[in-house]
Amino acid sequence: MGSENVSKGQLWTGRVLSGLVILFLLFDGVIKFFLDKLPPEAQAEGAKLGYPPEVMPYLGTVLIVSTLLYAFPRTAVLGATLLTGYLGGAVATHVRVLNPLGSHILFPIYLGIILWAGLYLRFPKLREITPLQK
């Protein structure tokens, strides 16, 4: 999936959107390795999600690997698919612990929309297989 038939504006908008998602998710993935070194307030927020601390590095690894797959054009669609599943799990977790709708439950959905919008703008072949019609 190359960048042929994509205007420079679309290409750069897609790159910026994708870049923002990549930076955020890589940061989130790395933080999962250092939760025990964060202030107690941050640790309590993480514990509220119901995952044992020893599981967090595994979640961080899955997130980092999936994000890196998304970052490289040859594997971007695979990465986006994996990240969509990961973000769906985040939504389910926030629903399960009764977090607020707008700030917690919908945030992974917003991130998924930005993730796919960036991909959609960067890759014209993706536009051919999406259900959006002219």
Element (H, E) at 132: none
pLDDT tens per residue across span 118-127: 999 999 888 8
pLDDT tens per residue across span 65-103: 999 999 999 999 999 999 999 999 999 999 998 888 988
Chain Cα centroid distance, residue 55: 19
**pTM of the entire predicted model:** 0.88
pLDDT value at position 128? 81
| In the predicted structure, residue 1 carries a pLDDT above the cut 60 | no
pLDDT value at position 21? 98
Please give the mean pLDDT across all residues of the chain. Answer: 89
Instruction: Quickly state the pLDDT bin for 133 (edges 50, 70, 90).
Output: low
Distance spanning both ends of the chain, measured CA to CA: 21
Alpha helices in the chain (DSSP H): 8-31, 40-48, 56-71, 76-96, 107-122, 124-129
- DSSP string covering 38-53: S-HHHHHHHHHTT--G
Element (H, E) at 80: helix 76-96
